[in-house]
Structure 1
Amino acid sequence: MNIAIVGAGLGGLACARILQMGGRSVTVFEGEPSPGARSQGGTLDVHADSGQVALRTAGLLDRFRALSRPEGQEWRTLTPDGTVVGHDWPDDDRPEIDRGQLRGLFLEALAEGTVRWGRGVAAVAPPGRVVFEDGTSQDFDLVVGADGAWSRVRAAVTGAVPEYTGVTFVEAWFDDTDRRHPRIAHLVGNGTMVAKVPGKGLFAQRNSNGHIRVYAAVRAPENPGLDFDDAEGVRAHLLRLYDGWSENLRDLLRDNDGPFIHRPLYALPVPHVWRDVPGFTLVGDAAHLMPPLGLGANLAMLDGAELATALVTEPTVEAAVRAYESVMMPRSVEAAKACKEGLDHLLPADGVQYWSPMQESA
């Protein structure tokens, strides 16, 4: 059994780790040149019934516990005038960890050379061929698409493509907040802070080492007409958008240490299912891209763990893929429905006017 995993995200790495524990041959192909080529994003809450299950199966749960932040489960809700109206902790066990730290756990646990960095995949072809960006190709018994929202492997399995959800995030961040930005550190607390009205909100999440990520979340056109290379122009526009909000909250949009990053949210159609395609399957966002409401990374790890377990225990690749997909697809359909409803609840669209710089000058 010779298995290729396309994409070195959490789902693909979880799958590779458990396959190696079961003595299977696996190679992970990643287009990025190195593990540190880009930021891996913010903090994740790792759920006991999904992400932690995968970590336990991969033999990494104790190491995760040592790095995770149980205090990061704190959730503060504010009104736009800055009044704290909710201060909650979840009832279940969902400690936070930086996505980059979690990815590092899986990378460190893999055999040397498992991940082929700088090996981008251009296309795939049946029954299990991977065509690389340099024009070379290689055949495998199974190709696992773990290559995220804009998966190249998905094209061999289903014709579905992600659709814009109507919601855009604009990301910023602050470093060393306890020392350099104490007011923001106090405002956010140990976990997540949210303030919102219909159609727009401000979210802030504490990461490790005093790093805080901020997201302005807005019902907006897919292309809001802003030049995101013009940081001061984006800042001025966001401050106008949140005019009348507490100055403490508006401080989240001032003096940030990183640039503003445009992150329109996409999701696959619901339901996204397919019939068996010999030689291919999907995990994580490649299989069920959904709004980022705390499920995606957990499901990706669980997908990878369950697929790997099936490949180790079932008699054939085909039987393993059928066993995995028969569980994964119904689960992901229900999760995608819940996330779609959750996004509509988080940022209701009813009666909200879309915003753009052009509207301001109209």
Structure 2
Amino acid sequence: MNSPAPSAARIGIVGAGPGGLTCARILQKHGIRVTVHDRDPHPGARNQGGTLDLHADDGQLALREAGLIEEFFRLARPEGQEMRMLDTAGRILGHHVPGEDELFKPEIDRGQLRDLLLGSLEPGTVQWGHAVEKVSGPADGPRRVHFADGTTVEADLVIGADGAFSRVRPAVTPAAPQYTGVTFLEAWFQDVENAHPGLAALVGQGSATAADGDRALFAQRNSGDHIRVYIIQRLPADWIAAAGLSADDTAGIRAWLLDAFSGWSPPLLQMITDNDGPYLDRPLYALPVPHTWEPVPTVTLLGDAAHLMPPLGVGANLAMLDACELALALAGSATVSEAIGRYEKTMLPRAADAARILEKGAEALLERHDSHDGPHGGYVPGQYLEDRQAGRVTPQASW
């Protein structure tokens, strides 16, 4: 089969996250038809997660190409760039307060970003309730996308933007995510200025983190007077069951955590004891480093589907940059196959470089914060990659 022109191709994106929706928006801006398939039954089916810092040189660049940068800045929280690094007694060791005009990586809630992107698409672009099971068909196409309800659709190009455990990925590579050895528990705090004033004061308008070498707490302000805390530990992926607990045993998990964090100060322990509702178990997985594949003229990947890494502030940004570059390659190429080649020639080496830098990044989140000189005594999401790229830390110094 000859590769079709992008303008004539049947293009299906799997996954309505920031990457998939950004790609769809830019394709539509260039007059290219696209359909997005998502497993959720409707846009409000589940909470979209916490807050993202969108960087000027990737996430914001993609939104600028999508024609949405002004709307983004109306929603974004520049004050969310504040960062406090604490010791286990709750003392501030480092404190970044963003300048008045600092807009390099303002925060935005994931749900707000998704709504912004969804609202920019042509009606009917996203097909909800389309849980993809697999992609079949010959490498040169056409491809058949199989859904959980037994239905199928044909496509000339399938773009996997469906995250860590992508159902599209097996069409180009057998690689599978592996557990990093580090796990997160997520805790939510609502109406924090009234119900949790101590935590609100401790965290400020952005984020606060403390670590002792084996465990860490990372708290992050979201919009709507909401804070999310990530309890970070080096444990087996099944540690809850191994401890004789269940995911819904909030009291039992809390008691276990208080024992693990014994010796930490009461102001920090409120991140464990005062949460509203259950904990959410989020073990961290990553793809092999480097993760690459031979080009396939009818399937490609972006974001976590292509390069799942530890959550150090780059995932959504790289996904949106991938999406932007893929859409522009399709808009500027004679055939779909040519566009995929152009896109992957840039994306795969960039992702491999970032993945090498972040390969042990999950461990770096646990480093003890013992320095008054900035980042050298522990790391936080969004900071680690920047410091490694700037030469402020070496692998030997960071783990």
Q: TM-score when scaled to structure 1?
A: 0.94
Tell me what 1:299 maps to: 318
Q: Return the letter of the residue paired with 1:186.
A: A
Inter-partner Cα distance in structure 1 for 2:52 and 2:356: 20
- Kindly state the Cα deviation for residue 125 of structure 1 after the two structures are TM-superposed: 1.0
Counterpart for residue 359 of structure 1: none
The separation in 2 between residues aligned to 1:262 and 1:5, in whole angstroms, is 28
Residue 39 of structure 1 is aligned with which of 15, 40, 47?
Answer: 47
Indicate which of 105, 113, 124 corresponds to 2:124: 113
Look up the equivalent residue of 1:67 and give its one-letter code: L
Give SS of 2:34's match.
strand
The residue type paired with residue 149 of structure 1 is: A
Question: Cα distance, 1:279 vs. partner?
Answer: 0.8
Alignment of 1:136 onto 2:156: no
Match among 205, 212, 232 for residue 190 of structure 1:
205
Q: How many residues align?
A: 349
In structure 1, the residue matched to 2:300 is 281
Contact 2:19 2:323 in 1 (8 A): yes
Match of 1:262?
A: 281
Q: Residue 88 in 1 paired to residue 96 in 2?
A: yes
Q: CA deviation at 1:37?
A: 1.1
**CA-atom RMSD in angstroms:** 1.3
CA offsets, 1:243-282, max 9 Å, x none? 1100000011112113101100000000000111121000
Mapping for residues 3-152 of structure 1, pairs under 5 Å: 3-89=11-97, 93-126=104-137, 127=141, 128-152=143-167
Stretches of structure 1 lacking an aligned partner (at least 5 in a row): 350-362
- Would you say 1:162 and 2:174 are equivalent positions? no
Q: Note the C-alpha offset of 1:348.
A: 5.0
Q: Which residue of 1 aligns with 2:356?
A: 337
Output one character per residue of 1:328-352: Cα deviation in whole Å (capped at 9) or x when no partner: 0011111112222332322259xxx
Equivalent-residue separation in structure 2 for 1:217 and 1:73 (angstroms): 21
2:307, 2:251 → 1: CA distance? 36
Does the aligned pair in 1 maintain the 2:78–2:103 contact within 8 Å? no
Contact 1:267 1:289 in 2 (8 A): yes
Structure 1 residue identity aligned to 2:24: A
* d(CA) in 2 for partners of 1:165, 1:88: 29
* Distance change (3 Å), C-alpha of 1:92 and 1:69: closer
Counterpart for residue 227 of structure 2: 212
**Segment of structure 1 superposing worse, 246-255 or 89-98:** 89-98
- Find the aligned partners of 2:353 and 2:53 in 1 and give their Cα distance: 19
Q: Which residue of 2 aligns with 1:323?
A: 342
**TM-score, structure 2 normalization:** 0.86
Q: AA paired with 1:11?
A: G
Separation of aligned partners in 2, 1:192 and 1:272: 31
Alignment partners' CA distance in 1, 2:237 and 2:194: 37
Alpha-carbon spacing, 1:198–1:96, altered in 2? closer, same or farther (3 Å): same
What do residues 67-89 of structure 1 show as CA deviations (whole Å, max 9, x unaligned)? 00000001101100111111014
For 1:134, the aligned partner's letter is D
In structure 1, distance between residues paired with 2:271 and 2:209: 11
2:15–2:36 Cα contact (<8 Å) kept: yes
Q: Percent identity?
A: 57
Give the Cα separation in 2 of the matches to 1:157 and 1:223: 30
